[in-house]
């Protein structure tokens, strides 16, 4: 991998934890590794070209973070990601953390703070899984990647 600006070889290095926030959802990324050259002021590079899209997909569409499932007519029922029990009530402030694997990159830890549901049966804390929450989570992830200095296209 080479720097887009000076064509020097890049070294993958772990950056300090980065945060992003959107719509009441905050995301923190630990263990994010980006390519850096020796020149000051050059933007870091992702480990591979589609890294940002793959990370967003792994977090929002995959099973990386426990996320409640919407089922039934017009998605009227919310089911626990752990045991499948029905979830009632409004989401409350909480935190969900998981180790996320993105193919072709080192795993990283993602912490999401914001609206969470807790299952009364198994006590598993999970993200709501609604389209609005997924959208806010995506924007927060992109903001965190931008905070790392990575140019997200």
Does some domain include residue 4?
A: no
DSSP letter at 17 equals: P
Burial class (CB in 10 A: 0-12, 13-18, 19+), 37: buried
- Which tokens go with 37? 């050259």
Residue predicted with more confidence, 145 or 38: 145
112 within a domain of the structure (yes/no):
yes
Residue 92 lies in a domain: yes
Q: Is residue 40 part of a domain?
A: no
In a domain, 5, yes or no: no
Q: How many CB atoms lie within 10 A of CB 118?
A: 15
Q: How many domains does the chain have?
A: 1
Tell me if residue 132 falls in helix, strand or coil: helix
Which residues form the domain of 24?
16-31+48-147
- In this prediction the pTM is 0.89
pLDDT over 70 (residue 153): no
């Amino acid at each position: 991998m080479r720097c887009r600006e000076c064509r020097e070889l890049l070294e993958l290095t772990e950056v300090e934890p980065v945060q992003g926030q959107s719509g009441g959802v905050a995301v923190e990324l630990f263990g994010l590794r980006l390519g850096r050259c020796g020149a000051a002021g050059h933007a870091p590079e992702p480990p591979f070209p589609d890294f940002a899209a793959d990370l967003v997909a792994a977090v929002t569409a995959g099973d990386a973070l426990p996320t409640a499932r919407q089922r039934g007519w017009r998605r009227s029922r919310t089911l626990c990601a752990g045991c499948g029990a029905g979830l009632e009530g409004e989401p409350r402030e909480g935190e969900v953390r998981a180790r996320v694997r993105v193919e072709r990159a080192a795993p990283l830890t993602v912490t999401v703070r914001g609206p969470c549901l807790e299952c009364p049966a198994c006590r598993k804390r999970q993200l709501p899984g609604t389209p609005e929450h997924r959208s806010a989570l995506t924007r927060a992830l992109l903001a965190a990647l931008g905070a790392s200095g990575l140019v997200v296209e």
